[in-house]
Amino acid sequence: MRRLPSPPVGPYAPPAPERELTVVSADGSRLHTELHGPEDAPAVLLAHGWVCSTAFWAPVVRALAADHRVIVYDQRGHGRSPAPGPGGYSTHALADDLVAVLEAALPSGRRAVLAGHSMGGMTLMAAADRPALRERAAAVVLCSTGASRLVDRSLVVPLRSPRARARVHRVLLGSRAPLGPVTPLARRLVRYATMGPGADPAAVDMCARILHACPRAVRGGWGRVLLDLELDARIGELTMPTAVIVGTADRLTPPEHADALAAALPHCTGLIELPGLGHMTPVEDPEAVTGVIRGLVEEFGTSHPTTAVEAKEQTT
């Protein structure tokens, strides 16, 4: 049976949605989706990362929902979205799910700023060739994420040999070992692996509870997809304005991933480095992440899609 995390309190408590719906993806997978904020406000869609859930975005949703229509959903197998069958773990499935949520939750003719954290950012890259993404995305935020070579570049295990470090990371990423209850040791491990040294203890506890609640089969299923992730060819297809965010102390997707993304994007609006932060940037500094999203909404949220060629013409 799936463990449900105890609800956090204060700024990390998930806000009550204005509406909930179940979105059905292309293969029949059911996706728990929440709508927050005024229906007629500028729209933002948030895609969470590996072993997380909609609860991960709570501080950002709270900051945006007063004057934005915020769409959040549980990636398949996470949170309240049921686990898929054995064939349901792939980047193609991630793209299918994103498109299904966009079409179900965003009214026809409306566009949104799409923000993805970690595997959520990989979801946006995986869907870069989908017409629905190009038509519905006013702008994109890639937050604490990478397109390839995840195990090679990870710094979680402090081994000097790159080859040995990559081998250990492969074992950890694909593991289905039970995580057990959230103990003081578990919190210390979560802080070390995913957050900066100055992270709020309440934020660490929130992340630990969310991560430990993910079913181990789902964790292992998606971990095996991430082991051999290869989305470099899709970066150039994200032709809409795109911002990249990274914490300088990110061990899971170190800044070299962000550097590579910023260099390959056709219309990168900026690379935002957050000093001392780890992988969980939307939780560690929700104000900074929210500020980037708001800026893109204000500049691009109501405009027509802008291609890289058009963007170049506008600056010449």
- Reported as a single tens digit per residue, the pLDDT across 173-208 is 777 777 889 999 999 999 999 999 999 999 999 999
Please choose, from the candidates 95, 105, 39, the residue with its C-alpha nearest in 3D space to the C-alpha of residue 73: 105
Q: Grade residue 168 by pLDDT with cuts at 50, 70 and 90.
A: confident
SS3 state at 22: strand
CA 292 – CA 297 distance, rounded (Å): 9
Domains, the chain, in order of start with CATH, read 19-300 (3.40.50.1820)
CA angle 150, 28, 44 (to 5 degrees): 60
The pLDDT value given to residue 166? 74
Res. 313: pLDDT tops 80:
no
Please state the length of the chain: 316
Tens of pLDDT along 256-305? 999 999 999 999 999 999 999 999 999 999 999 999 999 999 999 754 44
For 150, list phi and psi in degrees, rounded to 5.
-65, -45
What single string gives the DSSP state of each residue in 250-263? Answer: -SSS-HHHHHHHHH
What pLDDT shows up at residue 315? Answer: 42
Q: Average pLDDT over the chain, rounded to whole?
A: 91
Q: Is the pLDDT of residue 34 over 50?
A: yes
pTM, full prediction: 0.92
